[in-house]
């Protein structure tokens, strides 16, 4: 398995690997969906989207530096620190997915809302009252999973070309 390049060393290689990851995760999400494993498909669709956002964030690193100033200590007993914006692009925590998507803008921002709704559904399942999940049933979640997979493929192909 290929090790993920660190964005602070090679942004272009990092983007390339994240885009491939997005496509692989989309294939898995679709496979789970076809097997009726809706919540598993949801998790993979969310991972697909996080990888795509991370890849697109590469082109917005200067804007992200302004939004997320400072440095972050690296794990693994290393005493090294990297700019926080690079760390965010590398890890893409769920807690900053929306602000990063807003910096990227366009479809990435809009569809990030769907990805976050699916993330809620993954953990809480369907909820007819819409309190713990915006999806009243599995089929409504499955429709959005298909939509997110389709948008991921579209945006990935657009970036690769």
pLDDT score for 8: 83
β partners of residue 81: 73
Residue 152 lies in a domain: yes
Please tell me the pTM assigned to this model. 0.93
What pLDDT is recorded for position 76?
72
CA distance 72 to 84: 5
Q: Name every residue whose Cβ is closer than 8 Å to that of residue 84 and which is 6 or more positions away in sequence.
A: 68, 69, 70, 71, 72
Whether 1 is in a domain gets the answer: no
**Closest listed residue to residue 51, CA positions, set 20, 82, 72, 87:** 20
Give pLDDT, residue 140: 97
% of residues, the chain, pLDDT over 90? 82
Domain membership of residue 84 (yes or no) is no
Taking residues 104-126, report their average pLDDT: 96
Task: Give burial (CB, 10 Å; 0-12/13-18/19+) of 23.
Answer: middle
Is residue 81 very low, low, confident or very high in pLDDT (cuts 50, 70, 90)? confident
Considering the domain boundaries, does residue 109 fall inside one? Answer: yes
72: in domain: no
- Domain presence at residue 130: yes
Each residue of 25-44: pLDDT tens digit? Answer: 999 999 999 999 999 999 99
Counting the structural domains of the chain, the total is 1
Q: Is residue 103 part of a domain?
A: yes
Does residue 51 have a pLDDT over 90?
yes
DSSP 75: S
pLDDT-derived band at 2, boundaries 50, 70, 90: low
Q: Are 160 and 56 in contact (CB under 8 A)?
A: no
Q: What is the DSSP string of 32-68?
A: HHHTT-HHHHHHHHHHHHHHHHHHHHGGGHHHHHHHS
For residue 73, pLDDT over 90 is answered with: no
Helix (H), strand (E), coil (C) string for 89-155 = HHHCCHHHHHHHHHHHCHHHHHHHHHHHHHHHHHHHCCCCCCCCCCCCCHHHHHHHHHHHHHHHHHH
pLDDT recorded at residue 78: 66
Domain that holds residue 122: 11-60+93-160
| CATH code of residue 146 | 1.20.120
């Amino acid at each position: 398995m290929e090790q993920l390049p660190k964005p602070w060393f090679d942004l272009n290689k990092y983007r390339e690997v994240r885009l491939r990851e997005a496509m692989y995760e989309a294939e898995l999400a679709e496979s789970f969906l076809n097997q009726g494993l809706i919540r598993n498909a949801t998790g993979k669709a969310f991972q697909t989207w996080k990888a795509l956002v991370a890849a697109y964030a590469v082109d917005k690193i200067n804007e992200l530096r302004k939004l997320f100033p400072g440095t972050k200590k690296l794990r693994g007993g290393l005493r090294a620190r990297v700019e926080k914006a690079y760390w965010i692009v590398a890890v893409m925590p769920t807690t900053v997915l929306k602000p990063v998507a807003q910096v990227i803008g366009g479809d990435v921002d809009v569809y990030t809302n769907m990805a976050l709704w699916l993330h809620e559904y993954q953990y809480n399942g369907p909820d007819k009252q819409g309190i713990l999940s915006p999806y009243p049933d599995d089929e409504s979640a499955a429709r959005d999973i298909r939509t997110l997979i389709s948008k991921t493929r579209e945006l990935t192909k657009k970036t690769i070309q």
